[in-house]
């Protein structure tokens, strides 16, 4: 059962990562490579605060969310003042730089990783309670992004993606909207990081490498960008497939490359045959509000 | 008499090519100024400089006495300096009504905190904005297109909606970039009527337009631009009679 719980939690966390990344790249139209490092910032912040500073785990997780959020603003503010494209370049540097920093300072455990992270809920309420916690947060994140996308904010995001100059010409501020989108999306990745750390209780820098970025992107693209369920379907599919392959009991030397091939192959297949993803987005944004008669 | 919009000594050049040379321009409430001149004279560039899309090398822009210098495009729009585009630039992924709803001066829906915690305020704002949007659609003679998609409408109607969108805020000054280009028939008459009504409501209007008949019918004053500079001002009839300007306009 523990093995199954582990898988459910991993899938749930990737749904959070893909859904929050969908907010950034799908709805916001912002290209970022740094999603894994915000995941890492949340995980490390929560782990360090709870183990070494003895902050209660729930507060430490919240701090992980906030640290990722604040760090993303610090990254976006100077980048987006220049242009949207600049964020992509800056995010590569940020991803590589912060991970290098984590590997090279003492209080993160360095390249060997950070161990003995305090457990949460499991000792008192069993592993099931943690599974429920992750699923509840996952549901809340899906609901949150769904709510935002259909609200007046969704209308503004659509307009901003259509034409930024026209967006400014009606008095709207594209830069601050992009910063807010990026901050919320990245903050949620940090929250997922905290949830990861206190279940598996061991984190290493390798888990947050830049390759994770392409995995998350693949989930969003294959599932369907700018849809509520696309990233969910994408995360389920791309996390379940490798698990299924591992049941084939192939030697690890073959297993790794096969999984890599599968990811790349899926992206190529979808790019050619179904660029809209499994769940296609609607072309037109419509308000859920009913007109007064 | 001080104007709604006052432009002083506005200058700009790109790599030695002058697009604005010491421009002085005052727009008054209730009056329509026609900006005419050949292609490349700097008319649209002047709109870009005034609205803050492009930063000037020198000069100042004031709206109702308050300086706009250093303010970004969207900030100037919120102060009441509104503009349209030569190529309309409506939002294709939004229905017509939503193209208008996004254009109110304050739009609480652009702040995440409001979206998450201010449902009542959003609703209140939305109701008021919808009333205004429907009134504007009625004014431009297109009350039935609210739910239509922009791409499904003829170009002339799109241009009218572009003007309506620019009026969703509280425009004190309206810059219209070739409102008549590509507009014919009913939409033409509607555009004439709308621009006149906007001016009569006390907005200062400036029109860049190649359609001289439209300019002559509508504008209280003409300003002739050539090579980034204002060459002449006066009534449109006077300007179009001037053989020297006619020569500049048509070239040889």
Which tens digits make up the pLDDT trace of A215-261? 899 899 999 999 999 999 999 988 887 777 777 777 778 877 777 78
CB half-sphere exposure, B49, CA atoms < 13 A = 29
Question: Which run of H or E residues covers position B231?
Answer: strand B229-234
How open is the CA angle B52-B55-B59, to the nearest 5 degrees? 95
| pLDDT tens per residue across span A7-56 | 999 999 999 999 999 999 999 999 999 999 999 999 999 999 999 999 99
Q: Smallest Cβ distance to A156: which of B92, B109, B126?
A: B109
Nearest by CB: B95 against A165, A177, A284:
A284
Chain-centre distance of CA A250, in angstroms? 30
Q: Which of B73, B91, B116 to mutate to test the interface with A (most CBs of A within 10 A)?
A: B91
| Interface check A2 vs B, CB under 8 A | no
Residues written for chain A: 293
CA separation (Å) from A21 to A11, A24, A29, A218, B46? 15, 5, 10, 11, 40
Structurally, how many domains does chain B consist of?
Answer: 1
Average pLDDT over residues B231-236: 92
Q: What is the CA radius of gyration of chain A?
A: 19
B111-159 pLDDT tens trace: 999 999 988 999 999 999 999 999 999 999 999 999 999 999 999 999 9
- Which chain B residue lies closest to A162 (C-alpha atoms)? B91
A251-260 long-range contacts, CB within 8 A, separation 24+: none
| Minimum distance, in Å, between the CA of residue A174 and any CA atom of chain B | 9
Q: B63, B73, B84, B102: which to substitute to probe chain A, counting the most A Cβ within 10 Å? A: B102
Nearest to A222 by CA among A30, A21, A70, A65: A21
Tell me if B204 sits within 8 A of B3, measured CB to CB: yes
CATH of residue B126:
3.40.50.300
The alpha carbon dihedral of B78, B81, B84, B85 has a sign of negative
Confirm or reject contact between A274 and chain B (CB < 8 A).
no
Return the pLDDT at B252. Answer: 56
| pLDDT one-digit tens code per residue, B74-96 | 999 999 999 999 999 999 999 99
Do A153 and B109 make contact, defined as CB atoms within 8 angstroms? yes
pLDDT digits (tens, 9 = 90+) for A68-112: 999 999 999 988 877 778 899 999 999 999 999 999 999 998 999
Question: CA-CA distances (angstroms) from residue A148 to A69, A80, A156, A158, B25?
Answer: 17, 22, 10, 12, 44
Residue B160, pLDDT above cutoff 90: yes
CA gyration radius, chain B: 19
**Tokens 């321009």 belong to residue:** B25
Residue with tokens 């996308």: A149
Cβ-defined contact of B51 to A169 (cutoff 8 Å): yes
- How many C-beta atoms lie closer than 10 Å to residue B217's C-beta? 14
Q: How far apart are CA A260 and CA A251, in angstroms?
A: 15
Within 8 A of A153 by CB-CB distance, chain B residues are 109-110, 112, 115
Confidence at residue A233, expressed as pLDDT on a 0 to 100 scale: 95
Instruction: Report the chain A residue with the minimal C-alpha distance to residue B128.
Output: A292
Q: What is the pLDDT of residues A144-168, one digit of tens each?
A: 999 999 999 999 999 999 999 999 9
Q: What is the DSSP letter of B17?
A: E
Nearest to B110 among A147, A162, A177 (CB): A177
ipTM of this model? 0.93
How many contiguous H segments (helices) and E segments (strands) does chain A have? 12, 0
Instruction: State the SS3 of B130-192.
Output: HHHHHHHHHHCCCCCCCCCEHHHCCHHHHHHHHHHHHCCCCCCEEEEECCCCCCCHHHHHHHH
Give yes or no for a contact between A242 and A259, defined as CB atoms under 8 angstroms apart.
yes
CB contact under 8 Å between A170 and B78, yes or no, is no
Q: Do A169 and B115 touch (CB under 8 A)?
A: no
Separation between Cα atoms, residue B53 and residue A163, nearest integer Å: 14
pLDDT mean across residues, chain B: 93
CA distance between the termini of chain A: 56
Q: Which domain does B125 fall in, by range?
A: 5-250
Among A20, A27, A155, the strongest candidate for a mutation testing the B interface, having the largest count of B CBs within 10 A, is: A155
Residues in chain A closer than 8 A to B107 (CB atoms): 152, 156, 171-172
pLDDT at A262 over 90: no
Question: CB neighbours (10 Å) of residue B37?
Answer: 26
B159 has a chain A CB within 8 A of its CB: no
Distance from CA of B115 to the nearest CA of A (A): 7
Parallel/antiparallel/unpaired status of strands B204-208 and B173-177? parallel
Candidates A156, A163, A283; nearest CB to B110: A156
Q: What is the pLDDT of residue A292?
A: 56
Q: Do A285 and B89 touch (CB under 8 A)?
A: no
Check residue B43 and report its DSSP letter: H
């Amino acid at each position: 059962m523990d093995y199954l719980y582990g898988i459910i939690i991993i899938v749930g966390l990737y749904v959070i990562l893909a859904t929050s990344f969908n907010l950034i790249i799908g709805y916001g139209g912002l290209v970022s490579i740094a999603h894994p490092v915000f995941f890492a910032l949340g995980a490390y912040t929560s782990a360090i605060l709870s183990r070494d500073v003895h902050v209660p785990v729930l507060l430490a997780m919240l701090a992980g969310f906030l640290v990722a959020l604040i760090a993303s603003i610090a990254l976006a503010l100077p980048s987006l003042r220049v242009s949207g494209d600049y964020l992509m370049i800056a995010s590569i540097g940020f991803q590589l730089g912060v991970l290098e920093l984590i590997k090279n300072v003492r209080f993160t455990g360095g390249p060997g990783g950070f161990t003995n992270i305090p457990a949460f809920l499991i000792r008192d309420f069993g592993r099931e309670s943690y599974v429920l916690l992750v699923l509840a947060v996952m549901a809340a994140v899906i609901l949150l992004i769904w709510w935002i996308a259909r609200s007046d904010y969704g209308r503004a995001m659509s307009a901003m993606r259509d034409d930024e100059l026209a967006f400014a010409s009606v008095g709207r501020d594209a830069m601050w909207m992009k910063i807010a989108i990026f901050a919320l999306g990245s903050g949620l990745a940090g929250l997922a990081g905290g949830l990861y750390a206190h279940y598996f209780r061991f984190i290493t820098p390798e888990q947050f490498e830049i390759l994770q970025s392409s995995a998350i992107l693949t989930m969003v693209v294959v599932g369907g960008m700018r849809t509520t369920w696309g990233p969910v379907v994408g995360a389920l599919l791309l996390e379940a497939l490798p698990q299924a392959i591992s049941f084939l009991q192939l030697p690890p030397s073959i297993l790794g490359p096969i999984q890599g091939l599968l990811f790349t192959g899926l992206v190529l297949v979808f790019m050619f045959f179904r660029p809209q993803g499994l769940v296609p987005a609607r072309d037109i944004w419509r308000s859920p509000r009913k007109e007064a008669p | 008499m001080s104007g709604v919009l006052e432009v002083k000594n506005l200058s700009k050049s790109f790599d030695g090519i002058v697009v604005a040379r010491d421009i002085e321009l005052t727009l008054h409430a209730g009056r329509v100024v026609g900006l005419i001149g050949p292609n490349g004279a700097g008319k649209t560039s002047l709109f870009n400089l005034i609205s803050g899309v492009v930063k000037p090398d020198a000069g100042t822009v004031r709206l109702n006495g308050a300086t706009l210098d250093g303010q970004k495009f969207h900030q100037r729009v919120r102060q009441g300096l509104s503009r349209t585009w030569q190529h309309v630039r409506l939002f294709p992924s939004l229905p017509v009504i939503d193209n208008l709803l996004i254009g109110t001066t304050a739009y609480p829906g652009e702040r995440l905190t409001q979206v998450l915690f201010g449902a009542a305020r959003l609703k209140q704002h939305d109701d008021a904005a919808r009333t205004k949007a429907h009134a504007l659609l009625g004014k431009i003679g297109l009350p039935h297109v609210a739910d239509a998609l922009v791409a499904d409408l003829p170009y002339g109607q799109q241009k009218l909606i572009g003007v309506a969108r620019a009026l969703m805020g509280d425009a004190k000054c309206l810059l219209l970039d070739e409102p008549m280009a590509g507009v014919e028939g009913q939409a033409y008459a509607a555009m004439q009527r709308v621009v006149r009504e906007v001016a009569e409501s006390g907005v200062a209007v400036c029109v860049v337009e190649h359609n001289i008949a439209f300019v002559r019918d509508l504008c209280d004053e003409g300003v002739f631009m050539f090579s980034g500079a204002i060459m002449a001002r006066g009534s449109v009839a006077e300007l179009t009679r001037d053989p020297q300007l006619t020569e500049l306009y048509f070239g040889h």
